Amino acid sequence: MKSASWIKTAFAKGAGPSMGLWQMLPGANVSRLLARTPGVDWVLVDCEHGNIDDAAMHDAVPAVAAAGASPIVRLPDIQSWMVKRKRVLVPLLRTVQEAKELVQAAKFPPVGRRGFGSPLAMERFQPAPTMTEYLQQANDTLLTMVQIETKEALDVVENIAAVDGIDVLFIGPFDLGNNIGHPILSGIMKQELLDAIARTLAATHKAGKKCGIFCTSGEQAKMFADQGFDMLSVATDYTALQATLAESVSVARGIAKPARGGTY
C-alpha cells in the first residue's frame, strides 16, 4: 500500500514539493485526465466547493488511483462520518480539539476509532491490498490533512501542527484572508496574510509535518515551492478549462487574449 501512495512517496523522496490538481467537475474521465497529467502526484476531489456529490466522489477516487495518482477528498464538512474517504482534507478547522477528533475518526484502533469492513477501500490502491493488508497498513499509509483558513486555527496553529496523526496542514489563502480581516482583493495579498502564511509554514515544519497551499497558477505554485512548501495545488479543472476556451476563441476571432483571472 505504501508504494501505491504516490503523494507519500513524493514526500519521502524530498526531491521538491508534491504537486497536484483540483477536480471540481464530476466524471471519471475528468479524474483520469487530471491524474495522467505529467508531473502530478495527486488529484483532490472537491466535495466542498466542487460540483461533486457522494456518488461522483466514489467514481472519481478509484479512477484517480487506477491512473497512477493519489486521490484526496476534500470533505464538505468536518463531521466524523464523512472521514472514511481514504486521504481526506478537512476544511475550516478551528480548534485543536477538532484536530484530535478528526484523527480519532480517520485512524483505526488502537490509534483511533474508525470502523472497518468496507470492501470498497481496497480498490482505491493499485495494486489492491487484501483486507488484512489494508487493516495492518492503513494507519501508516492514509494521510489526514486539515485546512488552515480560519482565525481560530491560525491563533493555535502551532498546537494544531503538534497533534499526533495530523500529517499535513494545508493553507486556504482566500478564506484565511477573509477570516483574519485581510481578504485578497483585485489579486493583492496584504502583508498580514503573507505573515499568516509564513507563520503556518514555520509551525508545520517545526512540528515535523508537511505544509501545503492552494495556488491558482503554475507561476504562483513555483513561487510557493521556492518558499519551501511541501504540497502545491497547481490548477483546477474548472478554471483551467474556462481560461483555455476563452483564449482559444479570442485567437480564432483575431482579438486580444483575455486576461487570466483567479490569480492572487
**pLDDT tens digits, one per residue of 193-226:** 999 999 999 999 999 999 999 999 999 999 999 9
What pTM does this model have? 0.91
DSSP E strands, the chain? 18-23, 42-46, 70-74, 87-90, 144-148, 168-171, 210-214, 231-236
Q: How far apart are CA 155 and CA 23, in angstroms?
A: 30
- Residue 49 falls in the annotated catalytic set: yes
pLDDT score recorded for residue 4: 60
Q: How far apart are CA 104 and CA 118, in angstroms?
A: 18
Q: How far apart are CA 124 and CA 104, in angstroms?
A: 21
For the chain, the domain total comes to 1
Question: Phi then psi for 229, rounded to 5 degrees?
Answer: -70, 150
Using the 8-state DSSP alphabet, how is residue 256 labeled? P
Of the listed ranges 96-105, 132-141, 218-227, 246-255, the least confidently predicted one is 132-141
Q: Does some domain include residue 260?
A: no
pLDDT score recorded for residue 3: 58
Say which of 49, 58, 182, 205 is annotated catalytic: 49
User: pLDDT by residue (tens digit) across 11-29?
Assistant: 887 778 999 999 999 999 9
* CATH number of 6's domain: 3.20.20.60
CA dihedral 74, 80, 85, 87 (to 10 degrees): 60
pLDDT score recorded for residue 200: 98
Q: Does some domain include residue 261?
A: no
Q: Does some domain include residue 137?
A: yes
Q: Does some domain include residue 259?
A: no
Q: Which domain holds residue 129?
A: 2-253
pLDDT score recorded for residue 81: 75
Which residue matches cell numbers 464538512?
Answer: 77
Is pLDDT of 261 > 70?
Answer: no
